[in-house]
Amino acid sequence: MKVQDIVDKLGLKVCSGSAGLNREIEGGYTSDLLSDVMGNADENQVWITLQTHKNIMAIASLKELAAIILVKGYEPEADAAEQSNVEGIPILSSEEEAFELTGKLFDLLKK
Amino acid sequence: MEFAFFIEGGNFSKAGSASSEVKKILKQLNVDSKIIKRTVVSLYEAEVNVVAHAFEGDMIVEIFPDKIAVRIEDKGPGIPDIEKAMEKGFSTATPKVREMGFGAGMGLPNIKKNSDEMNISSKVNVGTKLEIVNYLK
């Protein structure tokens, strides 16, 4: 499944990094602690979080994540969005809370 | 081969840039991707520690045929009790840093888990020196 597929199926807003919408997704990780994601997420995963600052892009880039989804309608800070465009790693946004969104993404990816 | 990077204390917008440079170098050298991943986790955590706690620091990366050896030396408050600092969940990070999702007391344990050798020494009110070695086998 590609990032574009989950954008369509989960009704996500593409905030930045649209060049990376063809990235392949191999799983997901939900956490708001950066060291937790750094230590436990794997490459090509989608990261679900409420953190919106630039450091989420440092993590996404170093871990080679497929995309970041911000919950509850949050939008990335300007420098985070800029870095997302540079790296080609999309930042997406959902109106839902982490619990619901994680459940739906889990369902999609297990099919 | 030796590379050196300066780390600015307090500047979170640049946190991770030194680690990112090292990652590029290791990729160019065709280092095994699993070793790159572990090294990058260690270096990022070490870099963030300098940004979050110290005034400034240097990351010196030496690449040998059989290992990657990294020294991160900072000028800062130092660590009074290293054993305590190594405990999962222990952190002295400020509330502002914690709100950003840092300071969960996972940094040093993450470094330990993702390096083959780790040595840390510190002088209060002077600074901290961290050495990490990952073998290229």
B101 and A33 in contact by Cβ < 8 A?
yes
* pLDDT score recorded for residue A111: 75
Do β-strands B117-123 and B56-63 pair in parallel, antiparallel, or remain unpaired? unpaired
State how far the alpha carbon of A73 is from the alpha carbons of A10, A13, A40, A45, A96, in Å. Answer: 13, 9, 25, 20, 7
The average pLDDT across B35-48 equals 97
User: What dotted CATH number matches B2-135?
Assistant: 3.30.565.10
The pLDDT score that the predictor gives to residue B39 is 97
SS3 category, A67: strand
pLDDT tens, residue by residue, B106-116: 999 999 999 99
Q: What is the length of chain B? A: 137
Question: pLDDT (tens digit, 9 = 90+) per residue, A80-100?
Answer: 999 999 999 999 999 999 999
**Cβ-based burial of A58 (10 A; exposed 0-12, middle 13-18, buried ≥19):** buried
Share of chain A above pLDDT 70, in %: 100
B6 — pLDDT class (breaks 50, 70, 90): very high
Cβ contacts of A8 within 8 Å, gap of 6 or more: none
**For residues A16 and A85, is the Cβ–Cβ distance under 8 A?**
yes
Count of domains observed in chain A = 1
- The pLDDT tens digits for A49-79 are 999 999 999 999 999 999 999 999 999 999 9
CATH of the domain at A68: 3.40.1390.20
Interface residue of A32, A36, A38 to substitute, partner B, most B CBs within 10 Å:
A38
B82 confidence band (pLDDT: 50, 70, 90): very high
Average pLDDT, chain A: 97
Residue range of the domain that includes A26:
3-110
What pLDDT, in 10s, does the model give residues A14-63? 999 999 999 999 999 999 999 999 999 999 999 999 999 999 999 999 99
Distance from CA of A12 to the nearest CA of B (A): 23
> Is the confidence at residue B137, as pLDDT, over 90?
no
3-state helix, strand, coil in chain B (%, to 5): 40, 30, 35
**What ipTM describes this predicted complex?**
0.92
| Candidates B13, B19, B101; nearest CB to A51 | B101
Please say if the pLDDT value at position B41 is more than 80: yes
Is residue B123 over pLDDT 90?
yes
- What average pLDDT does this structure show over B108-133? 97
Question: Nearest by CB to B106, which of A36, A43, A53?
Answer: A36
Considering chain B, what percentage of its residues have pLDDT values greater than 70? 100
> A86 in contact with B at a CB cutoff of 8 Å?
no
Q: pLDDT value at position A68?
A: 98
Is B13 an interface residue toward A (CB < 8 Å)?
yes
Residue A9's region, left for phi above 0, alpha for psi from -120 to 50, else beta, is: alpha
Q: What is the pLDDT of residue A78?
A: 98
Q: So what's the pLDDT on residue B48?
A: 97
